[in-house]
Amino acid sequence: MTSRKLSECRNLGYDVICDIRKGKIDKARAVIEKHGLRYFKLWLQGYVLLCEALKKQHEKLAEYADTPLHLAASNGYEGIVKTLLDRGADINALNSQGRTPFDLAADSEHFSIVELILLQENVDLSSSKWLNYPLLHSAAKSSVIIVQNLLDKGLEVDFVKDGLTPLHRAAFSSCLPVVKCLVEHKAAVNAVSSAKSYLGFTVLHFAAMKLNAEVVEFLLEKGSSINTTNKDGATPLNLALLTADEEVINVFLRHGIDINTVMQSGLTPLQYAIKHNKESMVLILLKHGADTKVLDKSGRSILNFVLSYDVSSLIIWENLVKYGANVNALDKFTRESKESLLHLAINHGSPRMLGIIEFLIKHGANVDAVDATGATPIFCSIKKNRFARTGSESAVLLLKAGANVNAKNLKGETPLHVACELGNARNFKILLKYGADINLRCLNDMLPIKKLTSIGPPDAVEIVNLTFIRVISLHLAGLYFDKYFHFELTCFNCSACRAKAITPDIIAHVMKKECKEHEYLMNNKSKQKNNDRIDINDASSADWFDHPSINKDIR
């Protein structure tokens, strides 16, 4: 070679080095294609320079005396591999470790390069250490060419590695071509995983979990079991429901899955979708005939089941009722307590339940349903903690819907008795506003206010004062009030009243407007004609309901 040509060759090699170092692989490939770094002595300098440039991308390979093809294959430079092969690179060359370019590409999982080498007519894999099961499992994720070649070489199609077969991996990777190839080679379509993380999973479990409807369809056509459960009792359909993929669900439905079957978990597919709050899946199952009257393993109705899992999605509730769920249905679970859904929803206590309570009322739930203690839902609302919004707000919802404010339980107690016993002034106000009768006695002959004075809870003063206002209002209207109030009820809000009972003296005291708390009542006395009578159950007709003490904090 002349000195001029040698200089050009060196410059060429330097350019290739610079291009590869800068990541300009396309430019380096163009130089190689144009000048052809062939394998004979005249081009030795360029060949060595190319090796050196490629080594810069993978320093640890420098000591192995790799050819450019080895280095390009190891680094994943598919374009350079193709160019080198087109220029006559030795596809079967061994480096100092006895490894071929195929081995290095397979070791680094550069499957596109492995495929490229396998397609070469003169490839000799007899000395390769990588025609093995790890490669089969790795290639099963994406490369049908590699899988096909390995199976043609006699590798076992169902060889288990880390608890999984190649078909498990192909299904998990949603690679339909590989799935088909493996099944054509008699892979077991119902193979069960022994991998710790996927114990009991079948191939169909993986396909359903990865949302590939085509793979699911193919496996079902080839005989995959549709009802096999994993260690958690989940079928492939369960996993599809969790991912909420409508296309995959429809594949299962087309293949005749029993939509109302009770699975190992004790749940039907509908209950399973509800438990995991999958709105779209619930609707799909309902459209395909899921039974809304089936009970769960504890005997709960479908709506009681929804409530028990704290599902507050109104979309799920609406669809269940639309497809036949009964808002007044009792079930085996509540056979003894006789609690309705309204009882249960109010007792749940979560603020999220207010929307459900309103929904149930709107769809015809009986606001005066009686439980085993004789209590209606309004009792549940009044029993709520004095600081809980759910109690007072649910009470208003019930009363606006026509719930009986003077309903009695088996002890003869009214909601007003309960409000007094708990000392909940807010709920006491609400009940008074909606017409609660302060004169009703329970079976042990106690008035509501007597429950308060025997307990002495936090809001006692306010409740006594509200009752006093109510008694005065009844007196001024010429209506009956219990004789008990003549002797024991006092007003705590002014010193002039505090020592007096409701006697002619206290009434005269009030008439003189000496008590500011009751001044409002006297200012409005002119509205009450001699023949006018106030219906205490009609909130709209009684002046006293406009009293600031009553309306404060009540919507």
> Over the stretch 363-386, which tens digit does the pLDDT of each residue have?
999 999 999 999 999 999 998 765
Domain count, the chain: 2
Percent of the chain whose predicted confidence (pLDDT) is above 90 = 35
The answer on pLDDT for 137 being more than 90 is: no
Question: pLDDT per residue over 208-234, tens digit each?
Answer: 999 889 999 999 999 999 888 898 888
Domain co-membership, 101 together with 173: no
Question: What is the predicted pLDDT for the residue at 525?
Answer: 42
Distance CA 181, CA 179 (A): 5
Q: What is the mean pLDDT of residues 479-487?
A: 68
Residue 298 lies in a domain: no
Distance CA 329, CA 347 (A): 17
Q: Residue 8's pLDDT band (boundaries 50, 70, 90)?
A: low
Residue 66 lies in a domain: yes
161 in Cβ contact with 134 (< 8 Å): yes
The answer on pLDDT for 503 being more than 60 is: no
The answer on pLDDT for 514 being more than 60 is: no
Which DSSP string corresponds to 42-75? Answer: GGHHHHHHHHHHHHTT-GGGGGGT--HHHHHHHH
Residue 78 lies in a domain: yes
Which DSSP string corresponds to 345-375? Answer: HHHH--TTHHHHHHHHHHTT--TT---TTS-
Distance CA 481, CA 524 (A): 20
What tokens appear for 529 in the block? 């004609």
CB-count exposure of residue 445 (10 Å: 0-12, 13-18, 19+): exposed
- CA-CA distances (angstroms) from residue 153 to 316, 352, 354? 54, 63, 67
Question: pLDDT per residue over 118-133, tens digit each?
Answer: 888 887 777 666 667 8
Domain co-membership, 137 together with 85: no
How far does Cα 168 stand from its chain's mean position?
27
- Residue at which a domain ends, from 178, 194, 229: 229
What tokens appear for 354 in the block? 């207010």
- Residue at which a domain ends, from 82, 109, 128: 128
Question: What is the predicted pLDDT for the residue at 34?
Answer: 66
Distance CA 331, CA 347 (A): 17
Question: What is the predicted pLDDT for the residue at 9?
Answer: 52
More confident residue, 461 or 180: 180
Query: Comparing 247-256, 269-278, 509-518, 531-540, which segment has the lowest mean pLDDT?
Result: 531-540
What tokens appear for 348 in the block? 């749940």
Q: What is the mean pLDDT of the chain?
A: 78
Domain co-membership, 87 together with 10: yes
CB-count exposure of residue 537 (10 Å: 0-12, 13-18, 19+): middle
The answer on pLDDT for 488 being more than 60 is: no
Backbone angles phi, psi at 281, to 5 degrees: -70, -40
Residue 211 lies in a domain: yes
Domain co-membership, 54 together with 111: yes
Distance CA 296, CA 265 (A): 10
Q: Residue 436's pLDDT band (boundaries 50, 70, 90)?
A: very high
Residues 6+ apart with CB under 8 A from 411: 374, 442, 443, 444
Question: pLDDT per residue over 69-86, tens digit each?
Answer: 888 888 888 888 888 888
Backbone angles phi, psi at 164, to 5 degrees: -125, 150
3-state helix, strand, coil in the chain (%, to 5): 55, 0, 45
DSSP helix/strand/coil, 383: coil
Residue 141 lies in a domain: yes
Q: Residue 432's pLDDT band (boundaries 50, 70, 90)?
A: very high
Backbone angles phi, psi at 96, to 5 degrees: -65, -15
Distance CA 302, CA 360 (A): 14
Residue 536 lies in a domain: no
Residue 209 lies in a domain: yes
More confident residue, 491 or 373: 373
Backbone angles phi, psi at 467, to 5 degrees: -65, -40
Spell out where 79-231 has E strands: none
Domain co-membership, 92 together with 105: yes
Q: Which domain holds residue 106?
A: 1-128
Domain co-membership, 28 together with 93: yes
Domain co-membership, 93 together with 6: yes
Question: pLDDT per residue over 303-333, tens digit each?
Answer: 999 999 988 899 999 999 999 999 999 899 9
The answer on pLDDT for 107 being more than 90 is: no
Domain co-membership, 57 together with 157: no
Domain co-membership, 18 together with 104: yes
Distance CA 102, CA 73 (A): 7
192-201 contact pairs (CB < 8 A, 24+): 192/228, 193/163, 193/164, 193/168, 194/160, 194/163, 195/162, 195/163, 195/164, 196/163, 198/163, 198/164, 198/168, 198/230, 199/230, 199/231, 200/229, 200/230, 200/231, 200/232, 201/168, 201/230
Which CATH number do you get for residue 46?
1.25.40.20
Distance CA 117, CA 81 (A): 9
Residue owning tokens 């899955």: 257
Residues 6+ apart with CB under 8 A from 107: 74, 99, 130
DSSP state of 144: H
User: 164 forms bridges with which residues in the sheet?
Assistant: 161
Backbone angles phi, psi at 24, to 5 degrees: -90, 70
Residue owning tokens 């790890």: 134
Question: What is the predicted pLDDT for the residue at 434?
Answer: 95
- CA-CA distances (angstroms) from residue 397 to 314, 360, 375, 409? 17, 11, 17, 20
Closest CA to 252 of 238, 273, 263: 238
Buried b (16+ CB within 10 A) or exposed e, 351-388: eebbebbbbbbeeebbbebbbeeebbbbbbbbbbebeb
Q: Residue 166's pLDDT band (boundaries 50, 70, 90)?
A: very high
- Residue at which a domain ends, from 87, 104, 128: 128
Residues 6+ apart with CB under 8 A from 383: 391, 418, 422
Domain co-membership, 120 together with 136: no
Domain co-membership, 95 together with 198: no
Distance CA 534, CA 542 (A): 6
Residue 157 lies in a domain: yes
Question: What is the predicted pLDDT for the residue at 4?
Answer: 52
Q: What is the mean pLDDT of residues 479-489?
A: 65
Question: What is the predicted pLDDT for the residue at 45?
Answer: 42
Q: What is the mean pLDDT of residues 112-122?
A: 83
What tokens appear for 68 in the block? 């450019």
Domain co-membership, 115 together with 11: yes
